[in-house]
Structure 1
């Protein structure tokens, strides 16, 4: 595997320590781009990975899924309101480490609110913690996206996305397996206090790991272009943001972003939450996130195929999403008709994984839903990485991604909380996915062989706008 990183001693940004001594081998390893990719992956393993373990159980492990659904609406609304025009500019000024420390503590807070709900039934605290987590998640995901899409060379971006997706979703899988073991003999329909305590501790450890993230200027990658200190002003950042987002290729990608989490509410609260008992929901959640590991690997390898040009890989990825999407959602349609009939007969939250005659098909469908989520999000990140190698521009694109992703998710969770018909929610998700892929065709066809200078061109154009304003 080729690597375009350079030795710190030859790094034009920070070549040597004071006194002329070269950096130590440990420091060189620590600042290697892949070391930072792995580190941010483990941070997400601990924080959003454990959060996914909670939400994947349906209703965050509670019998009453309305509280969790409304908390998710608050969370995603806060993310949509802050990710682009609040967190993006802050990231450009303070860097990824500060953003991770600002956002990471909100994950254990949310787990603690669910622990409190088990004891007191205080739903308002859960919803408030969800809103705070939405702001914190904006900081974490903007930092994560900028690191993942710009810290490696162009020909390795698919592998970087795959590596992140595997480690990150291992968190959801491990957390769900732990819940499965803790709640194996439970008959209450609600996960135990021990589940929330264990996940809270892991989330807090992930927050601590944020201390070890490097600033972009320290990472040993020759193509990485940090934003000069002289350009770090709010007007410049706003101009770069507007200039980046007004690109028609980005506009055509917005429906992809909007749909990226829109199916979570249906899959987690209806497919998993209404069909299975608590221990099988925990098992399904583990399988869902493990399937995402496989899905991220498949899509990452597909998007890094060395024998194909980057424009060809963009087209192959799009066709792969259309084919797998139609097949998986088609199976989901058959399942939803079966579930509607079953619930009408009085069966609800009662399928156990040991009942192979009932559980095998629905469990495999849930696994494929997890794979498709990884296919979709990996492709979105790859398209964003194909637009620019600049961390500042990448932060804007990821901020836009999280903003529209959260807006779509909030809409879907609100529809779920309003208890709209299950088939209506299913049809909405399937239709939005296929429609978004059609609208994205111009962006897919516009992918170029390289994007090594596009980010710098965006920044230069915005700089010229600022200079023109000063002259006036």
Structure 2
């Protein structure tokens, strides 16, 4: 009797387990079979495709813009004109960066990205008109148009790159986004060098250079229209991205909440530093190097920028150590690069203040000064990548990410506007180099504090999960 009861119990248990396994398999089969979308649609709605689209927009808009300015004051023979126009451009961007979240709430991520690309070809058109016909008003018009649209572009591209990807892919996807921008720099650099390689003189580039840039920058609008709004994107685990639109009062409250939060207050000085130093390298290049050397700088700065971008992204992303160690090592590399760069810059600038050289790649002393410019580009790229990695770890919400991007980009553009304005006065380059040197060592301890705080935030998120 007892044996029979035991056998019955075992049979019931087996049946129960069998039913459970069967139900589990049915559930798994059901979950797999529910996604009946075509393969092209799965890719079109994936986070990877969204990063590719943002990258293509970054290639055609800011990437080519940077390529122009990597020649030194956008290839112009008049540094004061271009520095003044860029100061106006970044002044407009400061306002529209802060307005980015409100615009995105009204028209969505896709249209904001597309609209943000419109001003870039107008900026290049202004340079073309000035170069060929000597007119200056179009330079300022293009700067204003680019500043208004680019502020929205900068706020939205960072939000997509930081808020869309899965957590374990963010470092590499941010690097992918920056790489597309650097490819824009490379293409622009090839154009610059191909059209100006015989110009071993000072002055402006040929006007044909700007026509190529205008054509490529017009593509940004069409690339932007291919982006998916967050609610339509599907991550690897099958989840959608939640980014509900809110009214303007709620948006204002959320912006104020983040603006007064510790992460923003700690990262703001580093973003200010990153913005402030951007006026110096181009003016340095235009002052001391020939046209073809500036064109070469446009190409090589994009190449070294891409390498440093992927190095920074891989250091913080790939699992070679725990996350805390990866963050601290990356910060250490950033400190070493920026410290050595600005010490070297001040030494070289003090020498050039006296000798006032005009350097071509055929000259024996070319490498010392050209190397300074390359290291300035490497160190600034490292800073930008690292800052975006930091803010990407503060929140998984695209809504918060666009607010973080808008706030920090607004701070950056205010710094850039002021630095270009100071450079347009004009200000002696030794003074600018010394200010950059001083600002870096002033923000260094605060940046370390910011890094430790970000580590604490993502460690807390991991514990909650």
How does the TM-score come out when normalised to structure 2?
0.88
CA contact (8 A) 2:346 2:437 kept: no
Residues 65-113 of structure 1 show CA distances to partners (whole Å, capped at 9, x for unaligned) of 11110111011101111211x1122113422210122121111111111
From 141, 151, 173, the counterpart of 1:138 = 151
Alignment pair present for 1:341 and 2:354: yes
Please name the residue that 2:341 is paired with: 328
1:405 to 409, 412, 417: 412
Moved more, 278-287 or 429-438: 429-438
Conserved? CA contact 1:275–1:351, under 8 Å:
yes
Partner of 1:462: none
Correspondence for 1:394 among 397, 401, 405? 401
Structure 1: tracts of 5 or more residues without a match:
1-6, 17-21, 458-472
Higher helix share: 2
Q: Identify the residue that residue 198 of structure 1 maps to in structure 2.
A: 212
Runs of at least 5 residues in structure 2 that lack an aligned partner in the other structure: 1-27
Superposed, which structure 2 residues align to 1:139-178 within 5 Å? Answer: 139-178=152-191
Residue from 113, 116, 120 that aligns with 2:129:
116
Distance 1:450 1:218 in 2: 28
Deviation string, structure 1 residues 157-207 (Cα, Å, up to 9, x no partner): 111121122221111122022111101223572111211000000000122
State the match for 2:441 in structure 1: 434
The equivalent position to 1:268 in structure 2, one of 282, 285, 299, is: 282
In the alignment, structure 1 residue 352 sits paired with structure 2 residue 368: no
Do structure 1's residue 73 and structure 2's residue 55 form an aligned pair?
A: no
Aligned length: 430
Distance 2:31 2:65 in 1: 41
1:184 to 197, 201, 205: 197
Whether 2:420 is the aligned partner of 1:421: answer: no
Query: Take 1:442 and 1:452, find their aligned partners in 2: how far apart are those partners?
Result: 15
- Inter-partner Cα distance in structure 2 for 1:93 and 1:314: 36
* Distance in 2 separating the partners of 1:322 and 1:239: 35
- Are residue 294 (structure 1) and residue 302 (structure 2) matched? no
Q: Distance in 1 between matches of 2:344 and 2:309?
A: 21
For the pair 1:378 / 2:378, whether they are aligned, the reply is no
Shift of 1:208: 1.5
2:371 to 353, 364, 371: 364
| 2:44 aligned partner | 30
Moved more, 441-450 or 134-143: 441-450
2:322 is the counterpart of 1:314 = no
Quote how far apart the aligned CAs of 1:314 are. 2.6
Secondary structure in structure 2 of the residue aligned to 1:117: helix
* Structure 2 CA distance for aligned equivalents of residues 311 and 89 of structure 1: 35
Shift of 1:338: 2.0
Report if the CA contact (8 A) 1:318-1:437 is conserved: no
Give the secondary structure class of the aligned counterpart of 1:387. Answer: coil
Change in CA separation of 1:320 and 1:227 when aligned onto 2, cut-off 3 Å: same
Q: What's the CA shift for 1:224?
A: 5.4
Cα distance in 1 for residues equivalent to 2:155 and 2:342? 30
RMSD: 2.2
Distance 1:453 1:131, change over 3 A: farther
Is residue 150–residue 224 contact of structure 1 (8 Å, CA) maintained in 2? no
Q: CA deviation at 1:251?
A: 0.6
- Pair 1:238–1:203, CA change in 2 (3 A): same
Partners of 1:314 and 1:447 within 8 A in 2: no
Match in the other structure for 2:18: none
Alignment of 1:221-236 (within 5 A): 221=235, 222=237, 225-229=241-245, 232-236=246-250
1:448 Cα shift? 4.0
State the alpha-carbon separation in 2 of the partners of residues 417 and 225 from structure 1. 44
TM score, norm. by length of structure 1: 0.87
For 1:90 and 1:311, locate their aligned partners in 2 and report how far apart those are by CA, in whole Å. 36
Partners of 1:210 and 1:73 in 2: how far apart?
A: 26
What is the CA-CA distance between 1:377 and the residue it aligns to?
0.2
Deviations 1:354-376 (A, max 9, x none): 22x11122222221111101100
Per-residue Cα deviation, 1:396-450 (whole angstroms, up to 9, x for no partner):
0000111011011111111110111211100111221222221223321122476
Please say if 1:101 is aligned against 2:114.
yes
Cα drift, residue 308 of structure 1 = 3.1
- Asked whether the equivalents of residues 169 and 289 of structure 1 are also in contact (C-alpha less than 8 Å), the reply is yes
Go from structure 1 to structure 2 and tell me whether the alpha carbon gap of 1:275 and 1:201 turns closer, same or farther (over 3 Å shift). same
Shift, 1:316, TM fit: 2.2
Task: Decide whether the 8 Å contact of 1:173 with 1:289 is kept in 2.
Answer: yes
Give distance in 2, aligned partners of 1:57 and 1:67: 15
Q: Which residue matches 1:43? A: 57
